[in-house]
Structure 1
Amino acid sequence: MKRIVLSLAFASLAAAPSLALAQATPAPAAFTLPALPYAADALEPAIDAQTMTIHHDKHHQAYVDALNKAVAADAALAGQSLEQLVARAGTLPAVVRNNAGGHWNHSFFWKTMASPAQAGAPSPALATAIADSFGSLDTFKAAFKEAGTKRFGSGWVWLIVGADGKLAITSTPNQDNPLMDVAEAKGTPILGNDVWEHAYYLKYQNRRGDYLDGWWQVVNWAEVSRRYAQAMAKR
């Protein structure tokens, strides 16, 4: 009988570390940092490798980390997708609104770009829509640049498909975007540029206009055209 009791005791002791380890294992994070879809230096010379590395690995990661921390602290947010959080941003604490927006905006932004050799051109359907709304591609670029340079402080400039199916240019402060319930101009973003200083300051210093001009070299028009087609198909 004593042998049986001792055997059970040793078995419990052997299992205890594994049990404790299992209990201490944290739940997986709700949100993760997506990898860049190209090398950090792929957007040279428009955007330098150092800026891309810091922007993605430090700034975007910080939004993801802060969002996970905020969501973990609020049981009411458990299980909600990034899109759900963004859509009701105006009802959420500032820490959730800002970091959910930062995560969504940057995830969208990385895919907006490609190396200069792969930038391409708008699809025929998108090119026609741009001409209908702005007169020409060059006129559109000028209007987009104007919206970006006039955004006071930090924020974003967007090309959206509105509820009427027409293209429009808008800008948002901080990490807001046109999908949010608080946006002045709502719509489906198909193109967006980050005009926070951390997106361009190492290369362009205070010359935001030069950054906006150079950025067209790396716009991924195939992706923008795909987003346009997808937005129009949902109408």
Structure 2
Amino acid sequence: MALRTLISRRTVALGLGFQNAESRILGLGFRRAPELQTFFLLDLPYDYGALEPAISAEIMKLHHQKQHQTYIINYNKALEQHEGEMGAIKFNGGGRTYYFSFLEKYEQKK
């Protein structure tokens, strides 16, 4: 029961940079977020075709509109049903973070 209390809506190992004192003392490595937030799909700061011919517009659109969006949708659903869903929250939160980094780092230099 004590562990279940630690793994609550407010305690998620998402690497948000807020570690609580109890976690440090117990050495559990959980990080405490001030409040879990839902995500939404941001527009890319560049056109889907901006990276052609290295990466086609079709592939970038697929990654952004399908794969990235799916991680966001599933992460938000898992937050709503967070009880017993920490694995899904971590997986989809990580996927969202990965695709956010992946898609943003390829912005064309102006």
TM-score range, shorter chain: 0.5 to 0.7
Q: How far off its partner does 1:99 sit?
A: 0.2
For 2:70 and 2:80, the matched residues in 1 are separated by 15
Partner of residue 58, structure 1: 66
1:154-169 correspondence to structure 2 within 5 Å: none
How far apart, in 2, do the equivalents of 1:33 and 1:114 lie?
A: 16
Secondary structure, counterpart of 1:41 in structure 2: helix
**Equivalent residue for 1:36?**
44
Residue aligning to 2:102: 109
Please, which runs of 5 or more residues in structure 2 have no aligned partner? 1-36
1:93 Cα deviation after fit: 2.4
CA contact (8 A) 1:37 1:110 kept: no
Point out where structure 1 has 5 or more consecutive residues left out of the alignment.
1-28, 76-91, 120-235
Whether 1:94 and 2:87 are equivalent positions in the alignment is yes
CA distance in 2, matches of 1:41, 1:72: 35
1 or 2 for the larger relative contact order (CA 8 Å, sep ≥6)? 2
Give the Cα–Cα distance (whole angstroms) in 1 for the partners of residues 104 and 39 of structure 2: 18
| 8 A Cα contact 2:82 2:89, kept in partner | no
Say which structure is richer in helix. 1
Q: Tell me which protein shows more strand as a share of its residues.
A: 1
CA RMSD of aligned residues (A): 2.2
Matching residue's letter, 2:59: T
Partner of 1:163: none
Runs of 4+ in 1 over 2 A off after TM superposition: none
Report the secondary structure of 1:114's partner residue.
coil
The TM-score normalised by the length of structure 2 is: 0.60
Counterpart among 70, 79, 92 of residue 71 in structure 1: 79
Alignment-derived partner of residue 174 in structure 1: none
How many percent identity over aligned positions? 36
Partner of 2:8: none
2:50 partner SS: coil
Pairs within 5 Å for 1:173-188: none
